[in-house]
Amino acid sequence: VEAVTVIGAGLAGAEAAWQLARRGVPVILYEMRPHKFTPAHHTGFFAELVCSNSLRAAALENAVGLLKEEMRLLDSLIMACADRHRVPAGGALAVDREGFARAVTEVLEGHPLVEVRREEVTALPGEGIVVLATGPLTSEAMSRSLRELTGEDYLYFYDAVAPIVTRESINFDKVFLSSRYNKGEGEYINCPMNKEEYERFQEALATAERASRKEFEKEVNFEGCLPIEVLARRGKDAMRYGPLKPVGLVDPRTGKQPYAVVQLRQDNAAGTLYNLVGFQTHLKWDEQKRVFRMIPGLEEAEFVRFGVMHRNTYVNAPVLLAPTFECKKRAGLFLAGQMTGVEGYVESAASGLMAGVNAARLYRGLRPVVFPRETAHGSLAHYITSADPKHFQPMNVNFGLFPPLEEHIRDRRRRNLALAGRALKTLERWKREKGI
């Protein structure tokens, strides 16, 4: 192999190309902009931020803060440019979007080992070492080619995600565990509502404020996957005949079937995260918090991910990817970015970092590595490749994905800081041992 091919110079592809080049590996980096745009990009810069200019929380007690710190330890280009182009934003790391994207572009275009080709790649290369990072708005031709590799059932074009809460933030005095008719796999956490609670909730949901949508996202309200607030607006009982139906569920404390029930389904193997079944939504995030906390048992719920509905090209990673980001079906092909089922700018860049490190190892004749579970990188890689493939949905980084500490610390902030401390120590040691 003469060079590694990276397709797409977004958050993930730019970071992957950098990780390859800084290890002395020649890279051919393809980017279709500015000749062809996605519906969300407006410039020809690499790593363009298509929406917010925030890379979210900076502090280590927040998992995305830790992920960024780990990236700094791994000499990330995205983080170096973000830190250099930081703008004031309280506890968040926000950047001057143009300065940031321009800096990423200049470093890669000026790197002697990176050859930039401004063209659309319309099919997956059949051989060689390749990092595919064409993002949530992958061009149509490439989507078709990807579908040939993954199969119809394992490539998705639309993200309708329900909010996810941590198990430990649920008030277990108010909920009960059961599956419908006590049948089927697994137990749900059931949040029972009486008539009055249901009606208040329905009213609040029907009148809550929705996020504005981009033109290209408007067409996609298909039946069977309606936003919960749209269902709420269809009438008083619509939700009681849909996701909030109580049939087959008996509250052991009353011996009766509640008036309505919100069900929470286990979301990760460790059982630390639960999603609200049927609650895909377009509501603004602060509205989601306000309204969904009216559900009995969720008054203090900690949301690790809010519901979203948007265009998103992503694969069923638990079926298709190894935790090294290499495709199980095609050796030498790495996927990176939003298409692997991670969610967010920083997560996308971090997955590009891992894919880049491993593509470089393969180029050198070394075996790809799996990042340690105790790190934010490793936890994210582990989640997307080991989640239940039947219900796979994209995920933000959060401490619920980490293996628990040996000693349980009750205070959330102190616990998160301890998890972060363990992660950074583990990463330092691992980096040294593996020569990363």
Nearer to ligand FAD, 148 or 168 (CB): 148
Q: Which residue from 30, 156, 303, 314 is in contact with ligand FAD, where contact means CB under 6 A?
A: 30
The whole-angstrom separation of Cα 306 and Cα 65 is 18
Read off the DSSP letter of residue 255: T
Q: How many residues bind ligand FAD (CB under 6 A)?
A: 35
DSSP string, 216-235: GGTT---TTS--HHHHHHT-
Element (H, E) at 107: helix 97-109
Nearer to ligand FAD, 232 or 339 (CB): 339
Residues between 186 and 225 that touch ligand FAD (CB under 6 A): 214
- Taking CA atoms, 262 is separated from 180, 190, 235, 240, 410, in Å, by 12, 6, 17, 10, 27
* Residue 41 is a binding residue for ligand FAD (CB under 6 A): yes
Record the tokens describing residue 145, joined without a space.
Answer: 């080619």
Record the tokens describing residue 93, joined without a space.
Answer: 């790391």
Name the segment binding ligand FAD (CB under 6 A); options: 19-27, 45-53, 248-256, 266-274.
Answer: 45-53
* Residue 120 is a binding residue for ligand FAD (CB under 6 A): yes
Nearer to ligand FAD, 138 or 268 (CB): 138
Convert residues 330-369 into a mask of x (bound to ligand FAD by CB under 6 A) and - (unbound): -------xx-----xx--x---------------------
Contact residues for 423 (Cβ-Cβ < 8 A; gap 6+): 66, 70, 374, 375, 376, 402
Are 131 and 4 within 8 A, CB to CB? yes
Q: Which residue from 139, 280, 393, 398 is in contact with ligand FAD, where contact means CB under 6 A?
A: 139
* Residue 8 is a binding residue for ligand FAD (CB under 6 A): yes
CB of 402 to ligand FAD, least distance (A): 20
CB of 177 to ligand FAD, least distance (A): 34
Give Dmax (Cα) for the chain.
Answer: 72
Residue of 230, 231, 225 whose CA lies nearest to 244: 231
* Residue 63 is a binding residue for ligand FAD (CB under 6 A): no
Residues between 307 and 326 that touch ligand FAD (CB under 6 A): 310-311
The whole-angstrom separation of Cα 275 and Cα 295 is 13
C-beta nearest to ligand FAD: residue: 10
Q: Which residues bind ligand FAD (CB under 6 A)?
A: 7-13, 30-33, 38, 40-41, 50-52, 120-121, 133-139, 142, 214, 310-311, 337-338, 344-345, 348
